[in-house]
Structure 1
Amino acid sequence: MPRRSRVPAVIAAVATVGSLLVAPTASAAPAPEPPEDYCRGQCHHILPPGQNGNATFAELVGHMLLGTRPPHSDDQLGKYDALVAGYPKLTTDTIREFFNDNSFGVPEDEVERRYSPREDVTIVRDETAGIPHIYGSTRSGTTFGAGYATAEDKLFLMDALRRAGRGEVTPFAGGAQANREMEQRFFAAAPYTEQELRRQIESVAASGERGRTALRDAQSYVDGINAYLEKAHEGRYFPGEYVATGHVDPVTNEGEIEPFELTDLVVLASLVGAQFGGGGGGEVQNAIARMSLHERFGVQRGERIWQAFRAENDPEAISTIHDGQSFPYGNSPENPKGVAMPDPGSVRPQQLVFDRTGSAAEPADDPARPEAHNPEPAGDGAEALRGMFDDGLFPEGMGQQGSMSNALMVSGQHTESGHPVAVFGPQTGYFSPQLLTLQELQGPGISSKGASFAGLSFYTLLGRGQDYAWSATTAAQDIIDTYAVELCDPNGGPVSGDSNYYLFHGECLPMRTVERDNSWQPNLGDDTAEGSYRLMSFRTRYGPVTHRGTIEGEPVAFTTARSTFLHEVDSIIGFQKFNDPNAIRSARDFQRAAHDVNYTFNWFYADAEDTAYFNSGANVVRQPHVDPSMPITSDPAHEWQGWNPANNTADYAPFAAHPNSTNQDYYISWNNKQAPGTAGASPAKGAVQRGDLLDSRVRGQIEAGDPFSRVELVQAMADAGVTDLRAERVLPDLLRVIDTAPIADPDTRRLVDGLRAWLADGGERVEAEPGSRRYAHAEAIELFDAWWPLLVRGEFEQAVGPEAYRAMTEVMQINESPSGWQNREPDLHRGQGHQGSAFLAGWYGQVSKDLRNTLGEDVPGGFGEPLCAGGDAESCRSMLLDTLDQAAATPSEQTYPGDADCDAGDQWCADAIAHSRIGGIGQDLISWQNRPTYQQVVEFPAHR
């Protein structure tokens, strides 16, 4: 946390602007009774750190000076953190110590505040968590109230995110390196013009009555945001970050907080979709790695290794659907046509940044630099806020595509009550304020409670209705293809690799450019020099250009064709139905509504009688001969079936072709494989994946004939959430190789015994004593953290060669540890630590398969001949022992580098979750846990 500064002038500034302290209280008539709640007190949820994400200037100063925080800004953090130590003794009576009640309504003795921002809506805040319960006498009043309440809680966050989605962070918050990286990342993914944003709104509105209703709901929501924005600015209780970023003068109140528009919602939807709702797009990296293996081993052997590494349909992979159904999608055909393999060494990224001046011309920071979560404040008076965003408004690593959620559901035939039980939620990262916001919505055609992304909360996106609950995990099936577009010269001359003309159906067309001219000045919230640059996206009808290269010597551009491009808000219809009690009366109703969501999510549903699963997404129908894992030649014969380049529409897989199921014995999802036949877009969905941790615990209890309770399902989730996947699933294979002969050296034998003891104790990363900040088996855990990158490199690099090994790490990093280290070498990948989510991406299954090959086992989907240390079993064992000794000699400071939160070598701290600030209020560290950010515990005893 930031050090406290004594700044006398701050006190004077706070006195001058004392009216910024709190918003005025508005009176309101009592809210109407909510509809009947069929959960009967058996629905709970949690979302750290707290509901309130706004802080006035005075509250920011108080936080800097005294460490205080505004009410409800951190009151869910302690409950969330406590589950790590408390889950083994969890009971039905103690569940509220770790989760908040998620019932409809607020008992009168628990009302904190009641007010009406408009005559057709009443908002009631509960005293437990400050959640807004919004009751509209009209539909418009309901969504207006949602906008008003969300702005009360998350205005600055919403404002910052709409800038990020447009690629315009630096003019808003300064030219810090992290700000530039953030705006570049999202601009590259969705380089839209304002006209295209408006056109998406018009398209949904023209789709039918539900589309028109959605447009009216969204407009009322925006009106609510702007009503609060105007009152807060006039009343001087707006978020203090507007002072820190120089947008409003703290004394005169002069300055502007720009009103929201409908197009801002499209921007926010595209940001969320890019972060959590897409899949595919790594085809260029796949091609480079595959070619490297072919060059090393020849086509036949190289292809066997590539297919085993790729794990497209690994026969050993667990999947969410296991009832005998198969759902083929995204698979590579045996004899593909139209594969566009680049010439070796020819590929280079498409330039995105042009015309650098000032600080924009400075070299980028070292990618291995530890990130700063809580930079220190400095200065005096209003200048006390100077430096708050010196390292950028957004944390490093934000904006990289995420896949970080889990779900556990057990059908009524395997529960103590006879009713389904669910524990599920999305993992959206840990931020202060949180990207999600909580709410209850009650109005004509809307009845829900749960979480939504701030700025999109006119509907509840994940939560519960009157007698059902739902949640989602990121699915990431492949809806993004890479096309190799032949470059041309419009005058018929020689073609350069830098040409901005391309061939489309025989015509030489100019690429379309979308630009952002961003400039910034030093201001109160930015200590960098002034500067400017231009962001420029080059777009073809096959999508934005991401790389350039050559194929057989001819220059090409590689483009990203995404099925949701220009359709970011189409999913609004599905979410509208989720909130409509008349639309959702059964599991099948919910599945049909989920089919209207075009982002790639796994949807889970539970009511008193049924469970259901559906995998949503705009799954394009490809030509049967096309390999979606490789770049594709841009030719009509290889395009998506029914593709219309004018509006990027195509033929899509029908409902029945999407993985779907009802009342399976149990469902688990941790971003694992959806169903047999559904190809993974990432090599992570193979023989060992973190979904195994959930599957083994739930399946084992069901096979033992032991029915589940809510408490036991929470315990299964929590136990998996503190377990090291590598220890539970790969360490046994490592030990079996080592145990093929006695260990001569006593020191090495002691190291192995320590690992064996950790595994026997569950392979968990938990404190020896609650609050001690020291792990049980700390030495074994540190040894294994240091060993993993050494053993993976030793196992594979000698066999495949340095060039292919490096190319394969660009397809998938070898590790995703809680502390953030990925491939160990700083020039390859430095992961973002302190984010909780771990063990998604990594060579876990690949290591396991090869070790079992080395032991002489017949491994389905394996590499064939062993690769480990060149393929010799004795050499493989020697390599493991040698690298284990090297790991033991690795200094703790190297395994756990220090950063702004932690001293170098502090193991617990390196793993610990830090809520990255997108604003001025920081949070305390909490224990590592691999768990959804927002989580529900659900068991409905009754149904409408």
Structure 2
Amino acid sequence: MARRTPRNVLDRLRTPRGFPGFLKSTAICVLIAGLLSPLSQAVAAPQVTASNDYCGGQCSDILPPGENGNATLAQILLNQAFGTQPAHAEDQLGPYANLATGYSALTDAKINTFFNDASFGVAADQVASTEKPGGRTDVTIVRDKKAGIPHITGTTRYGTEYGAGYAAAEDRLWLMDVFRHVGRGQLTAFAGGAPSNQGLEQEFWRNAPYTEADLQAQIDSAVANAGARGQQALADANAYLAGVNAYIDASDSGRYFPGEYVLTGHKDSITNAGTIDHFKITDLVALASVIGALFGSGGGGEVNNALSLLAAQSQYGLEQGTKVWESFRERNDPEAVLTVHDGKSFPYATKPATAQGQALPDAGSVSQEPLVYDRTGSAATAGATTTSTTAAATALTSARRGMSNALLVSGKSTASGHPVAVFGPQTGYFAPQLLMLQEIQGPGLSARGASFAGLSLYVELGRGQDYSWSATTSGQDIIDTYAVELCQDDYHYLYHGTCTAMDKVEQKNAWTPTTADSTAAGSYTMRVWRTKYGPVEYRATVGGKKVAYTTLRSSYMHEADSIIGFQMLNDPDYVTSPQTFQSAVQHINYTFNWFYADSQHTAYYNSGDNPVRATGIDPEFPVWAQAAYEWKNWVPATNTADYTAASAHPNSIDQDYYISWNNKQALDYSTASWGDGSVHRGNLLEDRVKKLVAAGGVTRTALVKAMADAALADLRAEDVLPKLLKVVTSSTVTDTTAAAAVTKLQTWITAGARRTETSAGSKTYANADAIRILDAWWPLLVKAEFQPGLGTGLYTAITANLPIDEAPSAAHGPTGAHAGSSFQYGWWSYVDKDIRAVLGETVQGALPQKYCGAGSLTACRDLLISTLKTAAGQTAAQVYPGDDQCSAGDQWCADSIVQRTLGGIKHGKISWQNRPTFQQVVEYTSHR
């Protein structure tokens, strides 16, 4: 099929008409100017090394596609015409991709073939350039030859942070600008009215509809509540912004600013007319609100939970329906893989003996609060694709939050006696990447690693002098839904018995086409109604009373608070032990699992402001907005409350090993995620690391291999398929089509159940037929297994809470197509428990009834064989129908990872791997 350029987030970034057929004279001028200006800044430099590095050359990291996320107009035009890449734009993509076929032959000596050397400093023969940003004498930015990473060294704190801001703008200015506009709900006005842009700004602004005053108030509050550290954070932020703005001015006058500003009409390539707005401190809060919403806001979905509970009760009756719902919810499943596996319990958000204050909606009464109004022009036809009208839409928003993994082994089980860690966040694949690498050395600052673009005044994930840290999304519930009873009209509600007006917050967006954009002019207004209990998300009736369902999260209006925790992580005088590490991350109010390793210890801590709920509140469902059911000591004006003590959060020091892949943290600690049951992708790490620890002598190589092997595994094939085939082969399979399929599937399992190429670069899978069969079979067998027993209504409702499948090529899954991250959300555990029950095996936390074949082994076998036969008969083109990236039937391409364009530079596809985007491999040899 013919391929088209994908409609990316910024559809206005298009090549001018006629290019690349020929270059207009103006384009030639731009090419010359754009190519020469950046190169003229690179000069030779003396050796820059650091004496405060205790990793002994055994720290490595990787962040594809490359450090350089800025490109001049000339570089963008060359990339789109000929595929050429600016320096360091994708030089980390190849090594990252190659681990998929190279890990089996990995040795310690080869690790940096697939990773960067993450030692502090730059050897003299590896210095590519130095600069004194803004002509300052108190800071130097050195870039290395291999990856172009900025190593920022300052003699003053101000100069150091100024350099961090300058380097951030050098590498990610356009992306920073995009996301400050996303956070403010202004992306379409900035980058055009493409449906993807509309959807992006709407998704985030609904959850954080902040005014300029709100953004500033968050800064004032964070600073005031943090004492001297708060004042230091404010000074650091202002210095950082000064560096960002200095680069904007320098690149504007030198005409080497990102070319996207020309393509979106903000700058003129000939006259240089137009401006790039300076950054201000409230922009940092807008940026933080986007990142927090993406990765650090666990919970929500209470209305959707209520709808599936009502469906269960409608199908089975009140008592049995509730029991069925709880079994599928798996909020405290005894077979779930745990990060803290030493048996210690951390009760949180557990099911109360008797629920109080529940406000379940009347059947059929729920509708989502409209967000978009007054559509004109091209916006008038986009509403159907950008605004959902059902409560089920929240499922995808909640589901996609979980990413990232971690593997840590205590020194007791390693060859060296020092802990080994392989960990990192899975933030998705973008061009340019959301994260950027840097090293920062200055008074009170000493770290190297990754930070979100525009928030890199501190390293957020990386290493200090003698320790490394990382995070995974934890997803515990810090979001509650309140039913506010309406009074007078739809825009007044009862607050403590008084009829109170809702606050209306609006954001109007309008756009006009440019010569590089075919999107017609249009506009719309986003409108959110805010209450003391948070923004209105749904309307419904409860017992006949009209209500608005609001969403309140503990980090709402507190996006800036976490800056103190990151400041501490970068402070070598603060983090000196696992205990001080845990103390630092306790200041981070987002929901993350934090991991730590030094030469002697490993540690873990689960962060987030977990509200103390009123007695009897079940956080799975909406509750009445009444004083008796509010968070303990909740103050609406500041959205502050009592939070659970640090000791009540899952935490540990020097456990034999830790694994995390967004799985359940500890016994009795309820997360907001569905599907934390007997089969979870965390099991892929647990099984491999547990074996390594049992054998002892673990090395960096062994742990990288375990991660890479898990990254290629098909969770269904490894942990569920053998049980399905046990049922199928409980008697001789006489159907030839089904029998042939069974043979192929068994062969694949024997080979390791991985989705791997036949050889590096072949773009063809080994066991391709078996993979195709399972991809086709899974949705068929799940529906045939469960829908008859659950009934269509309940089956559909539960799939709104938890999609049945998230294979790499499942574009319908929570993560979407070509995203890498796979097998987090699906019905793996349900199928596993049900099939084991049908086989007569012991099942802890079993489903309340047997669904496959109504519990009959013979009937279950017939059902599985029938659906298997159907699946085996589907062609590759049917299973992989093709999209804007791939031809129908191209299995490898359907799985492949695409660096989604957020700017003008594009990159090639890489083979699927289910692993972190930024990743570290560390083993410290000494300690201060």
State the 1:890 CA deviation: 2.1
Equivalent pair of 1:404/1:427 in contact (CA under 8 Å)? yes
Q: Residue 430 of structure 2 corresponds to which residue in structure 1?
A: 431
2:71/2:258 contact within 8 Å kept:
yes
Preserved CA contact (<8 Å) 2:476 2:672 = yes
2:105 matches 1:89:
yes
Answer whether contact 1:814 1:843 (CA < 8 A) is retained.
yes
Give the secondary structure class of the aligned counterpart of 1:487.
strand
Aligned position for 1:726: 716
Determine which of 551, 561, 568 is the counterpart of 1:560. Answer: 551
CA distance in 2, matches of 1:367, 1:807: 22
Tell me, in whole angstroms, the C-alpha distance in 1 between the residues paired with 2:575 and 2:51: 15
Alignment match, 1:156 = 174
Correspondent of 2:212 among 170, 180, 194: 194
Give 3-state SS (helix, strand or coil) of 2:886's partner. coil
Q: 1:29, CA displacement in angstroms?
A: 7.7
**CA shift in 2, pair 1:400/1:569, >3 Å:** farther
1:130-279 equivalent positions in 2, closer than 5 A: 130-207=148-225, 208-279=227-298
CA distance in 1, matches of 2:59, 2:601: 16
How far apart are residue 403 of structure 1 and its match?
Answer: 1.3
The partner residue of 1:63 within 79, 84, 91 is 79
SS of match in other structure, 1:328: strand
Report deviation, 1:16. Answer: 5.2
* Cα distance in 2, alignment partners of residues 27 and 429 from structure 1: 34
Mapped contact 2:185–2:201 kept (Cα < 8 A)? yes
1:14 to 19, 28, 32: 28
* Corresponding residue for residue 485 of structure 2: 486
CA distance in 2, matches of 1:32, 1:907: 47
Specify which of 878, 895, 905 is matched with residue 894 of structure 1. 878
* Aligned residues with identical type, % of pairs: 52
In structure 2, the residue corresponding to 1:653 is in which secondary structure? coil
Secondary structure in structure 1 of the residue aligned to 2:816: coil
Counterpart-to-counterpart distance in 2, 1:836 and 1:859: 32
CA deviation map 1:32-76 (0-9, x unaligned): 652421001000000000000111011111112221110000101
Check 1:53–1:399 CA distance in 2 against 1; reply closer, same or farther (3 A cut).
Answer: farther
Q: Provide Cα deviations, 1:890-940, integer angstroms capped at 9, x if missing partner.
A: 232221121222111100010010000001110111110000000000000
How far apart, in 1, do the equivalents of 2:299 and 2:30 lie? 54
Pairing 1:650–2:669 present: no
Distance 1:424 1:317 in 2: 21
> In the alignment, is the contact (CA less than 8 A) between 1:574 and 1:594 conserved in 2?
yes
- Show the counterpart of 2:903: 919
Q: Secondary structure at the match of 1:229?
A: helix
Match of 1:790 among 775, 780, 783: 780
Match runs of 1:333-348 below 5 Å = 333-348=352-367
* Letter paired with 1:123: I
Q: What is the CA–CA distance in structure 2 between the aligned matches of 1:68 and 1:26, rounded to whole Å? A: 20
CA contact (8 A) 1:143 1:458 kept: yes
Partner of 1:832: 816
Q: Deviations over 1:174-202 (max 9, x none)?
A: 11100100010010010001001001111
Q: Which residue identity lines up with residue 919 of structure 2 in the other structure?
A: Q
> Matched residue of 2:347: which SS?
coil
- 1:734-753 Cα deviation digits (max 9, x unpaired): 11221222212122111111
SS at match of 2:487: coil
Match for residue 383 of structure 1?
none
CA apart distance, 1:401 = 4.0
Change (3 A) 1:400 1:173: farther
Give the aligned residue type for 2:909. Answer: L
Partner of residue 734, structure 2 = 744
- The 1-side partners of 2:432 and 2:397 are apart by 14
Q: Deviations for 1:113-133, whole angstroms, at most 9, x for unmatched residues?
A: 011012211000000100000
Q: Which aligned pairs between 1:518-529 and structure 2 lie closer than 5 A?
A: 518-529=509-520
Q: Of 746, 757, 764, which residue of structure 1 is paired with 2:747?
A: 757
Residues 31, 140 of structure 1: alpha-carbon distance in 2 compared, 3 angstrom cutoff: farther
Q: For the residues of structure 1 that align with 2:397 and 2:24, how far apart are their CA atoms?
A: 32
How far apart are residue 772 of structure 1 and its match?
Answer: 1.2
Specify the code of the residue in structure 1 equivalent to 2:843.
V
Check if 1:679 corresponds to 2:670: yes
State the distance in 1 between where 2:856 and 2:268 align: 70
Matching residue's letter, 1:465: G
In the superposition, the TM-score normalised over structure 1's length comes to 0.94
CA distance 1:249–1:821, shift in 2 (3 Å): closer
Q: CA RMSD in A?
A: 1.7
After superposition, give the CA deviation of every residue in 1:482-512 in whole Å (9 maximum; x if it has no partner).
11111111xxxxx5xxx11111100111111
* 1:444-483 alignment runs, 5 A limit: 444-483=443-482
Among 340, 362, 370, the alignment partner of 1:351 is 370
- Between the aligned partners of 1:835 and 1:540, the Cα distance in structure 2 is 36
Q: Aligned partners of 2:399, 2:859: CA distance in 1, in Å?
A: 38
CA distance, structure 2, for counterparts of residue 920 and residue 803 of structure 1: 45
CA displacement, residues 342-376 of structure 1 (integer Å, 9 cap, x when unaligned): 011110100000011111110457799xxxxxxxx
Q: Tell me which amino acid in the other structure corresponds to 2:160.
A: T
Match of 1:376 in 2: none
* 1:632 and 2:620 correspond: no
Contact 1:48/1:80, CA 8 A, preserved across alignment: yes
Distance 1:690 1:802 in 2: 28
Matched, 1:293 2:312: yes
| Contact in 2 for aligned 1:173/1:525 (Cα 8 Å) | no
| Cα contact 1:2–1:64 (8 A) shared by 2 | no
Equivalent of 1:539 in 499, 505, 530: 530
Cα distance in structure 2, aligned partners of 1:131 and 1:305:
53
Contact 1:854–1:871 (CA<8 Å) still a contact in 2?
A: yes
Amino acid of the structure 2 residue aligned with 1:62: L
> Given that residues 328 and 678 in structure 1 are in contact (C-alpha distance below 8 angstroms), is that contact kept between their aligned partners in structure 2?
yes
After TM superposition, list the pairs within 5 Å mapping 1:54-133 onto structure 2.
Answer: 54-117=70-133, 118-133=136-151
CA deviations over 1:703-759 (Å, ceiling 9, x no partner): 2x3320000000000000000001111112211221222212122111111111111
Amino acid at match of 1:528: T
Deviation at 1:27, TM superposition (A): 6.3
Q: How many residues align?
A: 901
- Contact 1:502–1:509 (CA under 8 A) maintained in structure 2: yes
- Name the structure 1 match of 2:302: 283
Aligned to 1:377: none
What is residue 775 of structure 1 aligned with on the other side?
A: 765
Render the CA deviation track for 1:78-103: whole Å, top value 9, x for unaligned.
10011000001100111111011000
Any idea what SS the aligned residue of 2:806 has?
coil
Alpha-carbon shift at residue 19 of structure 1 (Å): 2.4
Q: Equivalents in 2 of 1:11, 1:730: separation in Å?
A: 62
Match of 1:51 among 67, 82, 90: 67
Whole-angstrom CA distance in 1 between matches of 2:273 and 2:355: 63
Q: Which deviates the most, 887-896 or 646-655?
A: 887-896
Q: Does 1:800 align with 2:790?
A: yes
Q: Would you say the 8 A contact 1:50–1:77 is kept in 2?
A: yes
Q: Which amino acid aligns with 1:187?
A: W
SS of the residue 1:500 aligns to: strand
Matched to 2:174, the amino acid is F
Identify if the C-alpha distance between structure 1 residues 479 and 635 changes in structure 2 by more than 3 Å, giving closer, same or farther.
Answer: same
Partner residue of 2:420? 421
Partner of 2:12: none
Secondary structure of the structure 1 residue equivalent to 2:798: helix
- Determine helix, strand or coil for the equivalent of 1:621: coil
Q: Deviations over 1:199-249 (max 9, x none)?
A: 111112212000000000011101100000011011100000001111101
User: What letter is aligned with 2:413?
Assistant: H
CA contact (8 A) 2:48 2:122 kept: no
TM-score in terms of structure 2 length:
0.95
Name the SS for the 1:809 alignment partner: helix
Is the contact between residue 185 and residue 399 of structure 1 (CA under 8 Å) also seen in structure 2?
no
What are the equivalent positions in structure 2 for 1:500-649 lying under 5 Å apart? 500-649=491-640
Question: Do the aligned residues in 2 keep the contact of 1:33 with 1:105 (CA within 8 Å)?
Answer: yes
